[in-house]
Amino acid sequence: MVQSIFTDADEYDLLHQDIVDDIPFFVNLTEKVGSPVLELGCGTGRIALPIARRGVEVVGMDISPSMVGKAMGRAKGENLLVRCFVGDMRRFALKRRFPLVIVPFNAFSHLYTLEDIRSFFESVSGVLDEKGRLVVDIFNPDADILRGSTVRRLVGSYTDTEGRQVVVYGTSWYDARTQINHVKWYFTRGDKEWVREFTMRVFFPQEVMNYARFMGFEVEGAYGDYNGEDIIASSPRILLILRKG
């Protein structure tokens, strides 16, 4: 089932339009590797389109039909070599093989169970070239996430397509037993309010690396940001470059 935060592609894009820090990292990486690249959790093409603009073929998959539809519309408008389809990254099979599979912007955090993680790695292993690489990019949890908060905190704001200001506040509840963070975002526009919900599995650096090793991958690189710094407690990201062992 598609979580409500991902059902309206236009709304999602407007709220996330300022997130651009990761784009140069993935563009540079894919330029070195070449075509084709498989992006899991491609959304509306925020990363796929800049990659394709450099002449790299991108195949994208996302569980949200709304997101995929917008990605394909944008790619067609620019005549880019991008093909996106609706699918579940937990279980998939493709006839093509890829030198690079990328999972940007916390998409890996939608793997909630051990079975999800196992079948994800098995699926990726089935589409990677023998010397292929898998890149996983997720947030590095901090104390605020683990504590959670029932008090509404500002998430962000944007101007909608009709010029109206929308302000977004959020609450969260972290279940330590399952390591799942339950998030609610409250969208307010004047006297109107609507709620979007989603859940994300919280992973820790060694945990993800151990899952990868157990599933037959080697850790080629582990970074705490897009500049290649080591992972420390205050690092914003867990950025892993994995290869088939």
pLDDT in tens, 115-128: 999 999 999 999 99
pLDDT tens per residue, range 30-80 = 999 989 999 999 999 999 999 999 999 999 999 999 999 999 999 999 999
Q: Is 159 exposed, middle or buried (0-12, 13-18, 19+ CB in 10 A)?
A: exposed
- What percent of the chain lies above the pLDDT cut of 70? 100
Tokens of 94: 């493709």
- The answer to whether residue 16 scores a pLDDT higher than 80 is yes
Q: Could you tell me the pLDDT band of residue 245, with boundaries at 50, 70 and 90?
A: confident
Compute the 3-state secondary structure of the chain and give helix, strand, coil in percent, each to the nearest 5: 30, 35, 35
pLDDT value of residue 30:
94
Q: Report, as an integer, the average pLDDT of 227-240.
A: 97
- The answer to whether residue 18 scores a pLDDT higher than 80 is yes
- The answer to whether residue 1 scores a pLDDT higher than 80 is no
Rounded-to-integer distance, Cα 69 and Cα 80, Å: 15
Q: Report, as an integer, the average pLDDT of 126-145.
A: 95
Question: Which of these CATH numbers, 3.40.50.2000, 3.30.200.20, 3.40.710.10, 3.40.50.150, describes 4-140+204-244?
Answer: 3.40.50.150
Tokens of 195: 């709620």
Do 202 and 145 form a contact (C-beta atoms < 8 A)?
Answer: yes
Which contacts qualify for 110-118: CB closer than 8 Å, 24 or more apart? 110/41, 110/199, 110/200, 110/201, 111/201, 112/178, 112/180, 112/199, 112/201, 116/90, 117/211, 117/215, 118/215
Do 71 and 52 form a contact (C-beta atoms < 8 A)?
Answer: no
pLDDT value of residue 82:
98
Q: Is 125 exposed, middle or buried (0-12, 13-18, 19+ CB in 10 A)?
A: middle
Domain spans of the chain?
4-140+204-244, 143-201
